[in-house]
Amino acid sequence: MSKIIKKAITVLLATLIVVSMVACGGGDKSFSYDGKETKLSHELKNDYKEGDYDNYIALTEQADALLSEGTDFEAFKTALAKVWDYKYEFWGNYVVSYVNYYIYGKSEDANDYVNYITMFYDATEWIEGTEHALADSPFKADYFVDMTDEEIAEYLGEQKSERYYELQAEQNEIISAYYQLDYEDYYDGAAEYYLRLIDVNNGIAEEEGYENYSDYAYPNVYGRDYSVDETDEYFENVKKYIYPAYIALNERTKAAFSSFTDEEKKLCNDFENSNGFVNYMSDFKKYARYMGGEFLKAYNYLWNGKGYYFISQESGAPQAAFTWALISGEPFVFFSKEYQGIITIVHEFGHYFAHWEGGGDGGMDLSETQSQANEFLFTKYFLNNCDYSDNVKSYILDKKMLNTAESIITCSIINEFEKFAYTVEDPTAEVLDEYMESLNDMVPEIGGQEYLSFLKRYWRAVCIDNAAYYISYSVSLISSLEIYAEAVDDFSAGKVAYLKICNPDAYPTYRGTVTDAGLADPLSEEAFVAIYNALLGIEEEAAIAA
């Protein structure tokens, strides 16, 4: 979920095909957890000491004086290196406080992470300004060793304004305050904070030369290689292909579930809703063994070795699941009380494994494809190798596809909503809710007023801390479903495609990476035709594609 996750994947394929039928369910004996108490592989503690920020300020003043004098480069270099150390310290403590807040939900941790990120931005701003000053100083040749003026200019880029950093700090203050809203104040309070955030985020965009935050965030926050305008046609394809698939899957799953025995219903509900750590880790490990190579090594390291995981059962803590990294580079996974299903666990492990392999700045769309394709391959493997009845297997798969279709639709709606929110004049909560109602009217059979109520709550829940994010979740599902479609015909082929997008030779663009793996451009109609068939389990070309 985090915007800062960096990933890339390298895997040695296992060639052994598992053909034996095995019973599903049951915990992994090597990973013992009863699902009742908070379980942490490691305790995270801040290493910030009182006076560190004052020491940092003193060092910046010393470095400023040395740069102004322009005679003692070695002393300047030493002071600058210590400033960099403090910058890393501030970031490391920010991560620790952020994670501890999610584990325990304590307001002091929330206040701490805002303070640490503010210090981090302060250090970042100072270092950036200092490096620009170095380009026109007696220390230029010593600092920019063997670099031409053109190379120096490219390295430095355009210096960010003081206002930019002030707005970044204000952004974090708003997000922190939002998370500390009381339940009874949440609905109206979240809307109020979002309206403030629109102004702040648009201010950041304007400081960077963009008309609005959506235009800014696409390339600069999420590393997308498609524009906001290109998602107009994408949304049309969602309505044309995904919405009809959703309707068909909804009817199919309702009819199937109503015919099941109580035992069959329990199997289906457990797979979707029960605690995956308690009930399905043995199945996950079998899947990891099948994937083999570094995938299995990462699994064993995380769950049975020295890896970092944080599983919270604290009711008052924020609810989320995410993968990130400590300042040391050590990746970790986090799961709150309400986010411990097996599919969520598998999803986050996809992020973890990518980070394990060294990280490669492929952007958020690639990151989510790496995790979501892992979900589909696990589900396919699980259903291929469990002893459930064919009817139950079909239902579990159809329900997974139904949830996927709804996610594509909902995330696309959120993207359309945010495009409006960041461009409409004088937005109010009422104006935003009215626009959401117009979007809901485009997909009336999803749930009518009930779905509209959900959407109104949902934008208040996801658009503040994850502004302009959700189109990545939608687009990545398109490519992930294409990988699943390959696995339907030949599981090993799906595996190869998955590993190819996880370990490309380079990351020129997201769309370039997936097409290099033999997949369609996820924003093209061709991709929607392919996944419409995959969603409905149709092998031949669907009639809707004609």
Distances (CA, A) of 242 to 236, 260, 424, 436: 10, 27, 28, 19
- Percent of the chain at pLDDT > 90 equals 77
> What pLDDT score was predicted for residue 29?
46
- For the entire predicted model, the pTM comes to 0.87
pLDDT of residue 68: 97
Q: How confident is the model at residue 507 (pLDDT cuts 50, 70, 90)?
A: low
**Under 8 Å between Cβ of 31 and 304:** yes
Beta strand 308-311 with 39-40 is antiparallel
Taking the domains of the chain in order of start, what are their residue ranges? 52-220, 239-276+342-410+471-538
Asked if pLDDT for residue 543 goes beyond 50, the answer is no
* Predicted confidence band of residue 94 (pLDDT cuts 50, 70, 90): very high
For the chain, what is the total number of helices (H) and then of strands (E)?
23, 4
Question: What band does 448 get if pLDDT is binned at 50, 70 and 90?
Answer: confident
Is pLDDT larger for residue 514 or for residue 60? 60
Express each pLDDT in 301-336 by its tens digit: 999 879 999 999 999 899 999 999 999 989 999 999
- In this predicted structure, what is the pLDDT of residue 8? 23
Residue 393, pLDDT score? 97
Band (pLDDT 50/70/90 cuts) for residue 10 is very low
pLDDT one-digit tens code per residue, 17-74: 222 223 454 444 478 899 999 999 999 999 999 999 999 999 999 999 999 999 999 9
Q: How confident is the model at residue 451, as a pLDDT?
A: 93
3-class DSSP assignment, residue 341: coil
Q: Is the pLDDT of residue 231 over 80?
A: yes
3-state secondary structure of 308: strand
Segments in 180-261 forming alpha helices (H): 186-207, 213-220, 230-237, 243-258
Tell me what pLDDT residue 180 has.
Answer: 86
Q: Helix, strand, coil: what percent of the chain each, to 5?
A: 65, 5, 30
Query: Under 8 Å CB-to-CB from 60, ≥6 apart: which residues?
Result: 83, 126
Q: pLDDT tens digit string along 253-305? A: 999 999 999 999 999 999 999 999 999 999 999 999 999 998 999 999 999 87
Per-residue pLDDT band for 16 (boundaries 50, 70, 90) equals: very low
User: Bigger pLDDT: 184 or 272?
Assistant: 272
Which of 227-241, 353-367, 442-456 has the lowest average pLDDT? Answer: 353-367
Q: Please, is 47 exposed, middle or buried when counting C-beta atoms within 10 Å of its C-beta (0-12, 13-18, 19+)?
A: exposed
State the chain's mean pLDDT as an integer.
Answer: 89
Q: For residue 501, name the pLDDT band (cuts at 50, 70, 90).
A: confident
* pLDDT > 70? residue 12: no
pLDDT exceeds cutoff 70 at 506 = no
Is pLDDT at 244 greater than 70 in this prediction? yes
pLDDT at 420 over 80: yes
Q: How many CB atoms lie within 10 A of CB 503?
A: 18
Section 447-476 average pLDDT: 93
Binned at pLDDT 50, 70 and 90, residue 358 comes out as low
SS (H, E, C) 195-210: HHHHHHHHHHHHHCCC
The percentage of residues in the chain with a pLDDT greater than 70, rounded to a whole number, is: 91
In angstroms, rounded to a whole number, what is the distance separating the alpha carbons of residues 35 and 55? 44
Residue 2 pLDDT > 60: no
Q: Among 98-102, 429-433, 536-540, which is the least confidently predicted range? A: 536-540
